[in-house]
Amino acid sequence: MAQSEPIRILYIEDDPGLARLVQKRLGRVGYTVDIASDGEEGIAKYHADSYDVVFVDQSLPVYEGLEVLRILGSQGPLPPTIMITGTGDERVAVEAMKLGAGDYIVKDVGGGYLELLPSVIEKVLDQRRAAEEKQRTEETLQESEERLRQFFENEPEYCYMVSTEGIILDVNTAALTVLGYKKDELVGKAMETFFAPESLPKLKRLIVQWKKTGSFKEQEIRILTKEGTRRTVMLSTGAVRNKDGTILYGVAVQRDITEHERIKETLQKTEEHLRIIGEGVSDGFIYVDRNGIVLFCNERMKDIIADPHPEGKPISAFYDEENQKILAQNLNARWEGKGTVYEIVLTDKVGRRHNLLVSGTPYRDKRGAIQGAFGIYHDVTDEREAAKVLSGYKEALKDSFFGTTEALSKVIEDRDPYTSGHSTGVAGLAEAIARIMGFSEDEITGIYIAGVLHDIGKMAVPVEILVKPGRLNGMEISLIQMHPQAGYEILKGIDFPWPVAQATLQHHERMNGSGYPHGLKGDEIIPEARILAVADVMDAMTHHRPYRPAFSLQEAVAEIKKERGRLHDPQVVDACLEVLGGEQPFVISEYSTNSTSPHFRSRSKNSSALPTTTMVRASGRR
């Protein structure tokens, strides 16, 4: 076996001539040999250097060979060691092996044993390498078993080890927590113990399949908790086999989709809600696929284009060549994931021209892929044609657009049942904070509107991410963090008299630069966004989310106090605490049964609050 360095040997022998002969012979075959003439010198050299092999003669001055082995062995594991004995000293050889020697050689009178030394050296080195390899293998196996045990116990999915007879061998903590059992109540019991009666026939069929194939994947089935509550899970199994392929036991994993099923039902209702709003809003509403083909069009839009059946037709067919370019430019922005607000002229089937203010947004499927786009069309033809009402046009357009946008914001919130009403709650608290801080009534109006619209960019975030109950992965976090920029793209084209788009863009920035999307810090963040940041955090903390329970009001207050000056503007935090402390009367916006604390709006006669939230009066409530 090739070595990067020569094998180093310590040869302890009191016969100097014999020792030099051994040194010369072994040197010729590539070994490096150091000599010690007695037991004491041998022990000293052993400690002073590092050797791959040690030869010890039994008949030594000072310390005999066996005593040398005892001394060296008492101080740690010996390297490969060979005992040299005289003829008839088999007892010494046996004792040496007990003390850790790997082999022994009987010293014959003619010196023939010297020819055996290289093969004996290789033998003991092979023994040591085999022992070390065995130890590494055992350590690797132990580490692997420990990793498996840690994974099994800490896996958030429900995991079981099951015998080929369907008997539970082990069950992890996650399963025990949800099922309400102790481990000894399930181990040794049949799998059927915690399955719902209606699922038992399917379970038996799956067990038969498992015994034949060793696995099955993602089978929907119902289980029962100890208290009798049903939960829906996706069941998958695999098999651990021995060398001949025989199944030793199975590993079953259950992914709980109970909450997912409930949310899916809620989302179906939300889709219907979207359809109803699309029909009920005063503006046109249209949805097209990636090819620009109209898939849905509300009655108002059908009136605008004077076509009762536009579905299945390309949207470009309703525009002349000049306006088709405007349409194409904005649809391309949609396929890049951007929302835009633009003006375009549409010619209907009877030749009438309509000036339309359009707000367009991409639509993403469950995987986050863009599948189409929807747009809201506000007909501004009369305003454009009637110069005498031009001065009032901007306000009318703004009011109409705000109403539609607020309705859309509500629909987007309804995509996530856990955050319904969040925007109006943030708006109300932000308004109260701004008033405490001495902002003008006009500025407060802008802050309230920014609060209502701050999360409109979540239209660009897949529903599955918004309602996901577990930890988000890196890609999902990146998609979530796109929503301020998406909101800004939707709002920047609207001629607000306040920095609504900029506040929306910056409401997740933090004073120390740790926020997103641009990592702004300190005075780089506009005051309106600093107010929204605190109101947004307070509202979010005090309401239930799928990935955590609601904070109490006291916990939320402690949290923003802790981050005062680091993440949040100290003046904004102080004003928020004054609002929460009941220093002035306020009104509670009551929108969530999961709330642990009220959300606040001022009772000032000059309040800019839009009349869109159910309100109840209170005074000084904490």
What's residue 595's pLDDT?
35
pLDDT of residue 123: 86
User: Is it the case that residue 591 has pLDDT exceeding 50?
Assistant: no
Residues 6+ away with beta carbon under 8 Å from 83: 56, 58, 65, 69, 92, 93, 96, 97, 101, 103, 104, 105
Output the CATH code of domain 416-622.
1.10.3210.10
Tokens standing for residue 228:
């009798």
Closest CA to 527 of 544, 492, 553, 503: 503
Alpha helices in 281-389 (DSSP H): 299-305, 321-335, 381-385
The crossing angle, in degrees rounded to 10, of helices 117-154 and 16-28 is 70
pLDDT digits (tens, 9 = 90+) for 340-375: 889 999 888 788 888 888 888 888 877 888 888 888
260/319 Cα distance (integer angstroms): 43
Predicted confidence at residue 588, as pLDDT, reads 36
* In the predicted structure, residue 421 carries a pLDDT above the cut 70: yes
The residue with greater pLDDT, 347 or 108, is 347
What is the distance of C-alpha 178 from the center of its chain?
Answer: 21
Kindly give, in sequence order, each residue whose CB lies less than 8 Å from that of residue 282, ignoring residues fewer than 6 positions away.
Answer: 300, 400, 403, 404
**CA atoms of 253 and 458, how far apart (whole Å):** 33
Q: For 49-58, 104-113, 546-555, which range has the lowest pLDDT when averaged over its residues?
A: 104-113
Give 592's pLDDT tier (boundaries 50, 70, 90).
Answer: very low
- Partners of 340 in the β-ladder: 360
Superfamily of domain 261-397: PAS domain (3.30.450.20)
Provide the β-strand partners of residue 34: 10
Per-residue pLDDT, averaged over 210-239, amounts to: 89
Considering only 143-152, 396-405, 414-423, 429-438, which range has the smallest mean pLDDT?
A: 396-405
- Write phi, then psi, for 58 (nearest 5 degrees): -65, -40
Give the range among 286-295, 409-418, 444-453, 517-526 with minimum mean pLDDT: 409-418
The pLDDT of residue 594: 36
Distances from the Cα of 415 to the Cα of 44, 285, 348, angstroms: 80, 18, 34
Closest CA to 592 of 405, 423, 406, 431: 423
Per-residue pLDDT at 351: 82
Average pLDDT over the chain reads 80
Rounded distance between C-alpha atoms, residue 175 and residue 231, angstroms: 12
Give pLDDT, residue 41: 92
Angle value at C-alpha 311, between 367 and 341, nearest 5 degrees: 65
Q: Rounded distance, CA 600 to CA 590, Å?
A: 9
Determine if the pTM surpasses 0.95. Answer: no
- pLDDT greater than 60 at residue 593: no
Lowest-pLDDT choice from 187-201, 272-286, 312-326, 442-456: 272-286
Q: What is the pLDDT averaged over residues 14-31?
A: 88
Question: Is 568 within 8 Å of 577 (Cβ atoms)?
Answer: no
Q: Alpha helix (H) ranges present in 236-374?
A: 258-280, 299-305, 321-335
- The Cα 605–Cα 427 span in angstroms is 17
Distance CA 102, CA 127 (A): 8
Q: What is the pLDDT of residue 314?
A: 92
Residue pair 610/586 in contact (Cβ under 8 Å)? The answer is no
The pLDDT value given to residue 238: 86
- For position 87, what pLDDT does the model report? 60
Q: Which is it for the CA torsion 384, 386, 387, 392, positive or negative? A: negative
DSSP 552: P
Tell me: the pLDDT tens digits for 133-162? 888 877 766 666 666 666 666 677 888 888
The answer, yes or no, to whether residue 127 has pLDDT greater than 60, is yes
Burial of residue 191, with CB atoms counted within 10 A of its CB: 0-12 exposed, 13-18 middle, 19 or more buried: buried
**Mean predicted confidence (pLDDT) in 536-551:** 81
| Higher pLDDT among residues 546 and 507, named by residue | 507
- Please give the distance of CA 362 from its chain centroid, rounded to a whole number: 25
First to last CA, the chain: 80
Mean pLDDT for the stretch of residues 78-105: 82
Tell me the per-residue pLDDT of 468-524, one tens digit each, with 9 for 90 and over: 777 888 888 888 888 899 889 888 888 888 999 999 999 999 999 999 999 999 999
Distance CA 55, CA 35 (A): 10
Predicted confidence at residue 100, as pLDDT, reads: 85
pLDDT above 90 (res 434): yes
Q: Which long-range contacts (CB under 8 A, 24 or more apart) does 153-159 make?
A: 155/253, 156/470, 157/253, 157/254, 157/255, 157/256, 158/233, 158/253, 158/254, 158/255, 158/256, 159/251, 159/252, 159/253, 159/254
pLDDT at 414: 63
Rounded to whole angstroms, the Cα distance separating 396 from 58 reads 111
Local confidence band at 609 (pLDDT 50, 70, 90 cut-offs): very low
Mind spelling out the 3-state secondary structure of 188-245? CCEHHHHECHHHHHHHHHHHHHHHHHCCEEEEEEEEECCCCCEEEEEEEEEEEECCCC
Q: In what order do the strands lie in the sheet with 32-36?
A: 32-36, 8-12, 53-57, 81-86, 103-107
The separation between CA 468 and the C-alpha centre of its own chain, rounded to angstroms, equals 10
Q: Are strands 53-57 and 8-12 parallel, antiparallel or unpaired?
A: parallel
Distance (Å, whole) CA 227 – CA 225 = 5
Mean pLDDT value of segment 117-134 = 85
Q: Which of 69-83, 145-159, 505-519, 596-610 has the lowest mean pLDDT?
A: 596-610
Mean local confidence (pLDDT), 378-387? 76
Q: Is the pLDDT of residue 275 over 60?
A: no
pLDDT at 97 over 70: yes
Q: What is the pLDDT of residue 360?
A: 87
Of 487, 490, 287, nearest to 373 by C-alpha is 287
pLDDT of residue 409: 58
Is the predicted pLDDT of residue 11 greater than 90, yes or no?
Answer: yes
* Local structure of 527: helix, strand or coil: helix
Q: What mean pLDDT comes out for the span 248-257?
A: 85
Mean pLDDT on 54-75: 90
* Closest CA relative to residue 367, chosen from 290, 437, 488, 465: 465
| CATH architecture entry for 155-256 | 2-Layer Sandwich (3.30)
Q: For the chain, what are the domain ranges?
A: 8-133, 155-256, 261-397, 416-622
The two domains 155-256 and 416-622 share their CATH topology (first three levels equal): no
What pLDDT does 454 receive? Answer: 87
Tell me which of 3.40.50.620, 3.10.580.10, 1.10.4190.10, 3.40.50.2300 is the CATH number of domain 8-133: 3.40.50.2300
Mean pLDDT of 573-581: 91
pLDDT beyond 70 at 203: yes
HSE toward the beta carbon, residue 61, CA cutoff 13 A? 7
pLDDT at residue number 276: 59
Query: In the prediction, which pLDDT does 524 show?
Result: 95
Q: How many of the other CB atoms lie within 10 Å of CB of 230?
A: 12
Residue 504: the pLDDT is 93
- Quick one: pLDDT at residue 265? 67
Band of residue 612 on the pLDDT scale cut at 50, 70, 90? very low
